[in-house]
Structure 1
Amino acid sequence: MSHQVTIDGTTIQTGRLRLRPWRADDAVAALSIYGEADVARWLAPAMGRIDEPGQMRSIVERWGAEHDVDTGRPTGRWAIDDLADGELIGSGQILGLPPEGEDLELGYQFAPSAWGRGLGSEAGHALAHYAFSHDEEEVFAVVRPGNDHGIRTAREIGMEWVGETTKYYDLKLQVFRLRRGDLDVPNP
């Protein structure tokens, strides 16, 4: 699946989505994602369910500040807005996977109201473009067995299944990889 991707600094845009740094005023909308049990169950132990607005505000403030830190790699967390109405409907990440942070993980979560529209694969594709345009050669998605939506989304992005491991997060996970050559991304 191919999506048009535009990158302007730390903002990434597709035909339907804008991925941008988090702001403190995103906290209430973020609760519609991270406060949902059906979302949070796939994130533990890395992150549990958040149901307190003050806690969510602290988290999104920290995520927003991370965009100001140069790690030397294209890592970060983005709020995802629906371009049709400007509503915050999701979250996307490129983060170093434990234990060493060498492998980069693509992650994305959406409010249940946004499910079923192919937005996860569109966001994942955009994040991969961002990573590859910053000289990364490959990215990974790790998915718990039984998370059929996560597995399907990784495949829709064009990721290939490379196996199962307990290397990351000390959990049994399905590992998917996408290489730079798998997408039409010009060299930086």
Structure 2
Amino acid sequence: MDPKVVYETDRLMVRDWVDTDEDRVFDIYRRWEVSRWLGAEPRVMTDRGAATKVIARWNERNQDSTYGVWAVEERSTGTVAGTVLLVPLPEPSDGTASKGEVEVGWHFHPDSWGRGLATEAARGAIGHGFTAGLSQIHAVVRPDNAASLAVCHRLTMRPIGRTSRWYGAELEAFLI
């Protein structure tokens, strides 16, 4: 069965995950240079079985047509370059009330870095969100993640300052 395609860009097809993506998911998230930026307590994926479980979890989230955690596949090669997500931000960790904020994010394999693929995928996710009726979208980035900070600037996202509101970590927040 072919995966559901969420949107396409000039170079990318953004789609649901399939079981055959397991090795690539494991290869992306087993790398410290990728995983070090993710979560309150970053850690690498340690086995392929974890990739199977995370694919199932992501595809469960993808049931809503607005939100999801999707595979970013290069159309020219069929290679999964990484992940793009458009999801509600978690309940704030700073004790303030949730305002229904939504986040765009990206995680790419190092062999896909430096070619504008994260910016292209995120731009498509933002467009998808706005088409679905969202009025604003956030990005949250660790302050020393220069590559993701640059993506936010290329997306013309407005910096709104440092916050510990989400994920139990101090992050740079952006808004578009």
Query: In structure 2, what is the equivalent of residue 32 of structure 1?
Result: 27
Shift of 1:127: 0.4
Q: Under a length normalisation based on structure 1, what TM-score does the superposition of the two structures give?
A: 0.84
Identity %: 28
* 2:84 aligned to which of 92, 96, 100: 92
**Aligned residue runs from structure 1 range 142-181, under 5 A:** 142-178=140-176
Paired residue secondary structure (2:137) = strand
2:69 and 2:12 map into 1 onto residues whose CA distance is 15
Q: How many pairs align?
A: 167
2:19 and 2:162 map into 1 onto residues whose CA distance is 37
Deviation digits for residues 114-138 of structure 1, max 9, x if unmatched?
0000111111100000100000000
Structure 1: runs of 5+ lacking an equivalent: 1-8, 179-188
- Does residue 81 of the first structure (1) align with residue 79 of the second (2)? no
Paired residue secondary structure (2:169) = coil
Paired residue secondary structure (1:138) = coil
Shift of 1:101: 6.9
- Does residue 11 of the first structure (1) align with residue 6 of the second (2)? yes
Shift of 1:19: 0.5
Q: Which consecutive segments of 4 or more residues in structure 1 shift more than 6 A?
A: none
Query: In structure 2, what is the equivalent of residue 52 of structure 1?
Result: 47
Shift of 1:89: 1.2
Q: Which amino acid aligns with 1:89?
A: A
Shift of 1:10: 5.1
When the two chains are superposed, the root-mean-square deviation of aligned CA atoms in Å is 1.6
Question: Closer, same or farther in 2 for the Cα pair 1:128/1:46, shift >3 Å?
Answer: farther
2:163 and 2:40 map into 1 onto residues whose CA distance is 16
Structure 2: runs of 5+ lacking an equivalent: 92-97
Query: In structure 1, what is the equivalent of residue 62 of structure 2?
Result: 67
